Amino acid sequence: MMNIDGLSGIEKLKQSPQPEIVFVDLRMPVVSGREIVETMYDAPRLSNIPVTIMSGSVPNNKDFPPKNYYQDILAKPLDIFEVLNMAESLTS
User: In this predicted model, what pLDDT tens digit does every residue of 29-66 receive, in sequence order?
Assistant: 888 899 999 999 999 999 999 999 998 877 667 888 99
**To which H or E segment does residue 52 belong?**
strand 51-55
Q: What contacts 53, CB < 8 A, 6 or more positions away?
A: 24, 25, 26, 33, 37, 64, 65, 70, 72, 73, 74
Residue 48 confidence (pLDDT): 93
What CATH number does the domain located at 1-55 have? 3.40.50.2300
